[in-house]
Structure 1
C-alpha cells in the first residue's frame, strides 16, 4: 500500500501561492507540517502514508497540500476503477453482481470527473480573495463531497447477503480504501479553506 501511495503521479501541482498559503509557522519541516495537518483527517496514518512522499512539493503550503491530496485520490480512484472493470470478466459472476459492478464503474468515473474539477478549480485560486475565494472554495468542497458520495454509492450496490462472495469482498476492500483517501482529501480541503479565511481575516484558525 505504501509503495502505491508513493508511486502515484501527482498532476496539476504547479501553484502560485499567495502569502496566506505559504509556510505555516510552528513546523520545523515539510514532514512535520504534513503530519500535523493529517491530524485533521479521519484516517491520519493513511494520510501521512500517502502524502509524505510528496513533502518536497508540498513544503508547508496549505493549498499545495490539499491539491496533492486530491491528485492522490484521483490516482487511487482510477486504479480501483480499473480493478473493478476486470471483475466483469470473472467466471461465474451473477447477474446482480455484474450489474452492481457496472454501476460501480460508472460511479467511479463520476468520482474521477468531480475530483479533477476540484483540482482545476484549486489551480484557479492563486489570487482569489474574499467572496471570490469563497465561491471557488465552495465549488471545490461540493465536488469533493460529491465524489465521496459516488464512491460510497458504489459500495451500496454490493450491500445485502445476496451479494456475498469474492467479487463483493475484493471490490469492497479496494473501494473502501479509496473512500478513506478521498475523505482525507476533503478534510484537508476544508482545513485549507478554514485557515485561509482565518489568515486573511486576522482570526485565529
Structure 2
C-alpha cells in the first residue's frame, strides 16, 4: 500500500518571495505544486497550464458552481482558486503537495482539512517588503499600494498559521521549510495507519 502524501499550504505577503521559495522546493526535493486557476492577466513569460490556469470570470464562476475547487478567494480584484482533482491524485500516489495560495484560501483549506499545516512566509520587515514589490517592476504604483494595504490587513491573521518563516536568506528559508514539511510526516495525524496497525496487532495477540 502506497503511503499517502501530505498536503501543506504556503502563504505569505505579496512580495515575500513565496513563489521563488516554492520553485526551489520543487527543483531540489521534487514536491508537487498545485497549479492555481486565476482570472488575472498573465505576466510576461507566464504560460497557461504551467504557471496558472488563466480563466475568464465566467469560466471561474462555473468552476465554483461545479465544486471543482478545493478553495477560492478574491484578491486585488481577481479570483484565485485550487483545482481539486490534481491535488487528490498526487496525494493518493504518495507525493507531497504544496499549495501556494493566499491567506483567505489557506484558512478555508484549514477549515475543510484540519490536519493540513499552514506555513506563512514574511520578509524581515515592512520596508523590505516595499522594496521587493517595487523591485519587481511588474506592477503600477497603485497596485503596489493595494498590495501593501492588503499586507497590513493580513497581519491580523498571521497567528492562525502553524509556522511563521522569515525569508531573509533564500537558501536558509528553503531548507527551513523543507525540514518543516518532512517533520510533518511524523505528526500523529499523519501516522494513523501505523497507529491502527500497532493496535490491531496487539489486539490479535490478546
TM-score computed with the length of structure 2 as normaliser: 0.31
TM-score computed with the length of structure 1 as normaliser: 0.31
Query: Where is the strand percentage greater, Structure 1 or Structure 2?
Result: 2
Query: Where is the helix percentage greater, Structure 1 or Structure 2?
Result: 1
